[in-house]
Amino acid sequence: MVISKHPSKLSLPLTNPGVTTVLEYLIIKFPYVDPQIWQQRVTDGKVHCHDGSLITAQSLFQAQQRIYYYREVESEPSVPFKETILFQDEHILVADKPHFLAVIPGGIYVNECLQNRLRHSTGIEGLQAVHRLDRVTAGLVIFSVNPDTRHHYHHLFATRQIHKTYQAIANTNGDEDLIGQAWEIKNRIVPSEPRFHMRVVEGEANSHSVIRCVQQSTQKALFELNPVTGKTHQLRVHMQALGWPILNDQYYPILHPPAADNYSSPLQLLAKELQFIDPITQRPRHFSSDKNLLL
């Protein structure tokens, strides 16, 4: 059994969804976790409140109460690729993430994630990611070093004050010269079934990307992608909408059955650059991944 070294936390919602106890809420909040697992965690003292007091099977639901628990799995894979620290000061750390490594714990990954690796290598236990990348996407991730200034960097992403540039490779038929062409994609993306799989529906747009082709061979093309919004799987869905799903994508256009990672065929999507005005120093920041996608 692999148990997380750091607690996960959640705040109980303001509106009670029709439960009496915290345990009942955890069971409906996480439908893919067997109820007996939550019951055992509570019995073993692995769920507690912000003040450290333990949650029991009888603990009553209290709106906005913060709950802490420790994720656990039978075993977790070790990702055989290394991250690189590109920049660090007293406020932020910028890391270059490899493909297949989660940013934070999730699914079968409890301790094997970028955040935990960096906490271990830097000794900064409070290090926290201020945004996310898909596990299968490589590239730049910003972490907050100082809890007192963390909210300023969260605000940059929330208010779209960070310019993000990605690279992606897709198969093309080679009949059309795409180099220099650009596309502005605006549509409405919502969860489908299963919920991690997104789809485009009619309605007011909630996603926006600008995509252009920068290089092309007989069968493939390299695209530069600038997401304006940050919806889940946005770039993957938008490339599919253009008719060029990203190479080695296991979700789009067809959701493949769960399988072990094929390290020789990573998703050809890279978070290449981040540009913003630092909210603390007011200086321009420009970070670029050491990686490149090659046709």
Identify the CA nearest to 236 among candidates 15, 225, 62.
225
Q: Residue 257 and residue 259: Cα distance in Å, rounded?
A: 6
- Summarize the confidence of residues 48-56 as an average pLDDT: 95
| pLDDT score, position 5 | 82
What span, in angstroms and rounded, lies between the C-alpha atoms of 93 and 146? 10
The predicted model gives 211-228 an average pLDDT of: 96
In the set 44, 134, 177, 290, the catalytic residue is 134
What is the reported pLDDT for 33? 85
Q: How far apart are CA 222 and CA 203, in angstroms?
A: 30
User: Which helix or strand (DSSP H or E) is residue 151 part of?
Assistant: helix 150-158
Residue 74 pLDDT:
79
In this structure, of 9-13, 138-142, 284-288, the range with the lowest mean pLDDT score is 9-13
pLDDT digits (tens, 9 = 90+) for 138-195: 999 999 999 999 999 999 999 999 999 999 999 998 788 999 999 999 999 999 988 8
- When pLDDT is averaged across residues 261-269 and rounded to a whole number, the result is 97
Q: Check pLDDT > 80 for residue 49.
A: yes
pTM over 0.85: yes
Residue ranges of domains in the chain, CATH in brackets = 2-73 (3.10.290.10), 84-162 (3.30.2350.10), 164-269 (3.30.2350.10)
Can 89 be counted among the known catalytic residues? no
- Model pLDDT for residues 78-109, shown as the tens digit of each residue: 999 999 999 999 999 999 999 999 999 888 89
Exposure of 233 by Cβ count < 10 A (0-12 exposed, 13-18 middle, 19+ buried)? buried
Report the alpha-carbon distance of residue 118 to residue 136 in Å, rounded: 18
